[in-house]
Amino acid sequence: MECSTNPRGSSVKTGGCTDTIFDIQRKRKQEENCIAKKEEREQVLKSLNECKAELNKKIKEVEDLYLSFDFFLKREGAHQAIEKAERERKERLQNEAEIKRLKEEYAELMGRKQELEHQLQGHAVYQDFMERVVKMTKFEDVQQLTGQLESLLHFRDQLYQRDSEAQEQANQQRRTLLTLQDQHHLLRLHKNNQLSQLQTELEKKCSKALTWERKWNHIQETAAKKTLLLGQIKMATLNLYEMTGENVEGEEGVDMNDTEKQLDKVKLFIQDHDDIVKQHQTPTQRHNNGPKRREQKRDKPKKSTTPNCKKD
């Protein structure tokens, strides 16, 4: 719609345009409100569609669950039926086996009954015999006679058991005796071996004792010889000392047991007399005596050891 610009009708037309603008604005607002409501309703519709889809999904799940539960119930019922049939079959087999066992046991008992009846018929002779024996004895009935016989059999069993125990004890003691004899024999052999060893050691000790005794006797004999030789040396020294003219006792004399001093005195005496002889010899005699003395010293036997004379 266009607005006219005619000056004469400007006021009227201006008012109409204003109304038209307001109408347009109002319609635009209404349109915007409608669009907003439309969008809001579309959102609500979308939400409702989503809820519907979710509900349909849940319904589907519930239906599937129901179907699976129904199938489970059917399968469980079939399984229970199978178990029941298997249980009934086992019970039937057990009952059949029990019936078979009872029949066999019944047949065995009947056979045992017939056997006992046969034995009873065979033992009837003994019953008659026992009754005749009771009449010949002081017993009143067969039971008293049977009790007496059972007592005698019981005593016989006790005596037999005692005899067996005594025989077993005797055998045990016999085995113990044999064991002790073997141990005694082994101990005797061991002691004989020890005695032989001790005798051998005793012989060795006796042999060693004889050897040491001979050595001791030899030592004593040697000591006696050396003592005798020492006494002879002392006596010879004392004789030489007395031949020098010295006194044996007194203040200037030498003790008769002091052999060393006596030898020293004899040595001094010989040296003094040798000097005196040299002084009185002529030169010719000295010259002749020199080679003779050297020959005498050369021909004189040398002693291996010189006796060591000590004071007593």
- Asked if 134 contacts 140 with a C-beta cutoff of 8 angstroms, the reply is yes
Range with top average pLDDT, 63-67, 97-101, 111-115, 176-180: 176-180
pTM: 0.30
Is 78 a domain residue? yes
Is 143 a domain residue? no
Q: What is the pLDDT of residue 7?
A: 44
Conformational region of residue 245, where left means phi above 0, alpha means psi within -120 to 50, and beta covers everything else:
left
Give dist(CA 19, CA 10) in Å, integer: 14
Of 111, 136, 161, the one marking the end of a domain is 136
Is 229 a domain residue? no
Is 293 a domain residue? no
Q: What is the pLDDT of residues 138-172, one digit of tens each?
A: 877 878 878 888 888 899 999 999 999 999 999 99
Give the mean model confidence (pLDDT) for residues 112-121.
81
Give dist(CA 109, CA 104) in Å, integer: 9
303 pLDDT higher than 80: no
When mean pLDDT is compared across 3-17, 48-62, 108-122, the lowest value belongs to 3-17
Q: What is the pLDDT of residues 182-236, one digit of tens each?
A: 999 999 999 999 999 999 999 999 999 999 999 999 999 999 999 898 888 888 8
Q: What is the pLDDT of residue 252?
A: 57
More confident residue, 73 or 184: 184
Q: Report the percentage of the chain scoring pLDDT > 90.
A: 22
Helix axes 142-243, 10-136, angle to 10 degrees: 90
Is 197 a domain residue? no
Q: Which of 219, 265, 217, 213 is nearest to 238 (CA)?
A: 265
309 pLDDT higher than 60: no
Give dist(CA 17, CA 9) in Å, integer: 12
Q: What is the pLDDT of residues 233-274, one digit of tens each?
A: 888 888 887 777 665 555 556 777 777 887 888 888 888 877
Q: What values do phi and psi take at 311, rounded to 5?
A: -70, 145
Of 136, 162, 185, the one marking the end of a domain is 136
Range of the domain at 113: 21-136
Range with top average pLDDT, 39-53, 188-202, 298-312: 188-202
Is 55 a domain residue? yes
Q: Spell out the residues 6+ positions from residue 60 whose beta carbon is closer than 8 angstroms to its own.
A: none
Structure-token pair, residue 305: 């050891």
Taking CA atoms, 243 is separated from 35, 86, 94, 185, 230, in Å, by 186, 155, 151, 85, 20
When mean pLDDT is compared across 4-18, 44-58, 138-152, the lowest value belongs to 4-18
Q: Residue 177's Cα: distance from chain center in Å? A: 37
Confidence of residue 302 (pLDDT cuts 50, 70, 90): very low
Give the mean model confidence (pLDDT) for residues 84-102.
85
Is 72 a domain residue? yes
Of 112, 136, 160, the one marking the end of a domain is 136
Total domains, the chain: 2
Q: Which of 144, 141, 143, 123 is nearest to 132 (CA)?
A: 141
Long-range Cβ pairs for the range 147-155 (8 Å, 24+): none
Is 66 a domain residue? yes
Q: What is the pLDDT of residue 208?
A: 92
Q: Spell out the residues 6+ positions from residue 133 whose beta carbon is closer than 8 angstroms to its own.
A: 145
Q: What is the pLDDT of residue 215?
A: 92
Q: Spell out the residues 6+ positions from residue 137 whose beta carbon is closer than 8 angstroms to its own.
A: 145
